Structure 1
Amino acid sequence: MATQPDTQVYLFDKPANVKRLLRGLYVACGLLVALDFVIHRHVLHDWEKIPAFYALYGFVGCVLLVLIAKGMRRFLMRPEDYYLRREQGPGPLPDDTETQQGPH
């Protein structure tokens, strides 16, 4: 039995909705940074007095996470057929046509 392709249009399928979402996020971020200059914070360390410290801290933290993940990829990455080879055991791998069709 053939299934019908999904023809429903979702909220973020329209580029205008994606632009609205991004604009809203940019406005929220700008508003939070602007409020950082107005609202008094009780800080424990001198570096917390830097304007937009928490925004910069979060950005630097995200960049470091991405760089560390790229480094970890070197020793964590496995070949594309890693699990297939474990299932098959020692010996030659099957043709691509068999693996694409799946089990019968």
Structure 2
Amino acid sequence: MNRILWLLFAVCVVVLGADFFYHKHGHFSFENIFGFHALFGFTTFFGLVLVGKQLRKLLMRDEDYYDR
């Protein structure tokens, strides 16, 4: 499992490093910031996890809910 995490980390670093080597054609000025899309994707993912945790509290039922 540790090897998989290191491989994932290495791929993320390579993809983030590739951001140096191509010209971006963003519609907005903040899209041209180095690593913007990686940061945006991570914060969006983190926000979805937080929303999911709150939805779990709302939707969670007891284990024997359908047996009653």
Confirm or deny that 1:79 pairs with 2:62. yes
Check whether the contact 2:25–2:32 (CA below 8 A) recurs between aligned residues: no
Instruction: Give the unaligned 5+ runs of structure 1.
Output: 1-17, 86-104
Which structure features the higher share of helix residues?
Answer: 2
Scaled by the length of structure 2, the TM-score of the pair is: 0.87
Query: In structure 2, which of residues 22, 26, 33 is the aligned counterpart of residue 50 of structure 1?
Result: 33
CA-CA distance at 1:20 after TM superposition = 2.4
Query: In structure 2, which of residues 12, 37, 45 is the aligned counterpart of residue 29 of structure 1?
Result: 12
Scaled by the length of structure 1, the TM-score of the pair is: 0.60
Structure 1 moving runs of 4+ over 6 Å: none
Cα deviation code 1:3-37 (max 9, x no counterpart): xxxxxxxxxxxxxxx22222221111001111112
Between structure 1 and structure 2, the one with the greater Rg is: 1
- Residue 42 of structure 1: SS of its match in structure 2? coil
Instruction: Give the unaligned 5+ runs of structure 2.
Output: none
Check whether the contact 2:16–2:38 (CA below 8 A) recurs between aligned residues: yes
- Residue 84 of structure 1: SS of its match in structure 2? coil
Higher RCO structure (Cα 8 Å, ≥6 apart): 2
CA-CA distance at 1:54 after TM superposition = 0.9
Identical columns (%): 41
